[in-house]
Structure 1
């Protein structure tokens, strides 16, 4: 099999947990509070002066936040950069229409006030503020109370090995539910991308989270049942409005997201492993903007908006790059109505959620498998066009 060598880098985020003493934890908490108060001041100055470029914003804020919040020079620079990055993201969302149309109430509300940061929002660190001692499993980190040395950290063996060998750039200090983490960026050289011998089409859905063109269906029944149960539990707890109910809601928050992410990781790994084993590429649907395009009845909207297809697609994407498997995105239009046998397109071909029967050639197949085969065909055609010699 021919190999096409690509000199690109995969950027991943490795999370390790810090194990600070109570005194160290208090210093870290005070540092985040100070940094985010400073970030709120910088955000207000940027909004007032309509100045959102890093270098220009320093002139308005650098000396002031250093003096008022007792920040080191590098920490102050990172606060300003964090504010600029936040405004850049906001402006990108406004330009893309993600925060409503011009003149809408939601957009006016966002545009009428400066960005604000939570007291314990993440704070970036670079190598001048943070150093790693991998053998001792400790870090030395700057705080407003001085440099903390010997702060222990732990993580999975795979993540610790990646961290020691491939760490590059900044790390973010994060406090979540009373636990402390460092999110570090690592750069891993990707595997040479093999020239695909055909494509494995992936149809993403709700009843079946993912269906492959080889007929393997990853059912979403259990995931949807868990989401429905959690939704009903949240509704009942929110209706109680008691302290114990609020405590339980706080303990359970993000639990469903972690469960869904774990399901998506397992499905993505199985799909990439199958493609790697058979020497094929992976063809995915380009579902960008589907929530804005699709019109559903109110009871169905919750299911669509809790559907984490983007996360599954991103998991498949980065796992495929690390494995050297080609990935291509195709137009999903009419893949559920087109016959994978003769190519006939008719909405009457789809007789039910599961059943596909072609009105032209009488070809019958599971509807999701048929759609996945159409996606595989489009992937092969798209690859041939984009990689023509």
Structure 2
């Protein structure tokens, strides 16, 4: 499986200036190449390289291999755009987003990430330094730092290109790693995981990852966001983007911690992880107006992705089950009714009297559905016939 490892570069002021000049030159070349590709409707990498290669080298001061990487970056950007259009992510044929995307060349910011292959960038793991090509010449002994786990993964499994990135005044290298996947083990049972807003994740083991502190954090961000939006100045817009990135990083960190805990328990106990299939839930569920922003702004799908890839790394099976009525169905007598859930937090079966926290009941139902689905998948062929 492919993973990305991000390390922080610690350049000197002279090295940082050379890296900044390199990013500006590469992205200026990408802007030129993008205009050529758009105006001539060129989609082939080889054809675009024939049109732009010499001009990129002479006009922007790039050497051979960085010029090739610039052409590939532009071709990949147009490939991603056309794939998104075909998939409908930009709306219908006359939608504003699609018309805007198709009406002009793809633009590249001056500080946009630039890929480098092993001819342009080399790693010295023992010394924790990299050597990288720049428009000012080859820079050697640029120090880098990262967590021990990520550095070990980088040393053992790095494959392919590494992207140079400048973000929030800091320099990073993002490297692609090809990590071997262990064989998925046969689970002895399942851990049901119910995702929510008040409780971000609740397991059938009654482990509860509450979001009260997170809700206070997000409300504080919402107030600050409203104050900045009211100013309607360029500096306020810059601060809004910076604050949005900060809030997104916080949400990602919280999801990483939750996923780590759930996968660790599953691996230790030899169980699989069962999650609700939430795809399309916004179309199925009608919410009150005050609930829409809360549900839409938390990255539930990101938590699912984190759990899935962390489980794959250690061989833990993950199963998605039907999410309908998990919090309204009694796990003991199977009676299903909206009245079984008198409040958001509580469950009380109107038939058999079973009562408890609604999120725990939902997690138990998810676990039970995973048990039935796994038994059906693994039934012998002769018995199924």
Give the secondary structure class of the aligned counterpart of 1:254: helix
1:101 offset after TM fit, Å? 2.6
Counterparts of 1:175 and 1:382, CA distance in 2: 47
Counterparts of 1:133 and 1:318, CA distance in 2: 28
Q: Are 1:86 and 2:80 matched, yes or no?
A: no
Partner of 2:383: none
Output the TM-score relative to the length of structure 1.
0.90
Instruction: Give ranges in structure 1 of 5+ residues lacking alignment.
Output: 1-9
Say how many residue pairs are matched.
Answer: 380
Match of 1:13 among 4, 26, 30: 4
Counterparts of 1:294 and 1:68, CA distance in 2: 55
1:292 offset after TM fit, Å? 4.9
Partner of 2:222: 231
User: Aligned runs of 1:370-389 on 2, under 5 Å?
Assistant: 370-389=361-380
Give the secondary structure class of the aligned counterpart of 2:179: strand
Q: Are 1:263 and 2:292 matched, yes or no?
A: no
Counterparts of 1:378 and 1:387, CA distance in 2: 14
Output the TM-score relative to the length of structure 2.
0.91
- Kindly provide the CA deviation profile for residues 325-380 of structure 1, in whole angstroms up to 9, marking residues without a partner as x: 11112221232332222223333323221122233433323221121122112222
1:311 offset after TM fit, Å? 1.6
Instruction: Give ranges in structure 2 of 5+ residues lacking alignment.
Output: 381-385
Partner of 1:209: 200
Give the alignment's Cα RMSD to 1 decimal: 2.3
1:289 offset after TM fit, Å? 3.5
1:294 offset after TM fit, Å? 4.1
1:213 offset after TM fit, Å? 1.4
Counterparts of 1:39 and 1:248, CA distance in 2: 27
Counterparts of 1:295 and 1:95, CA distance in 2: 29
User: Aligned runs of 1:1-389 on 2, under 5 Å?
Assistant: 10-240=1-231, 252-389=243-380
Give the secondary structure class of the aligned counterpart of 1:180: strand
Q: 1:170 to 1:302 in 2, by over 3 A?
A: same
1:307 offset after TM fit, Å? 0.8
Q: 1:42 to 1:377 in 2, by over 3 A?
A: farther
Indicate the larger mover: 162-171 or 202-211. 162-171
Counterparts of 1:266 and 1:204, CA distance in 2: 14
Partner of 1:4: none
Indicate the larger mover: 56-65 or 179-188. 56-65
Q: 1:289 to 1:161 in 2, by over 3 A?
A: same
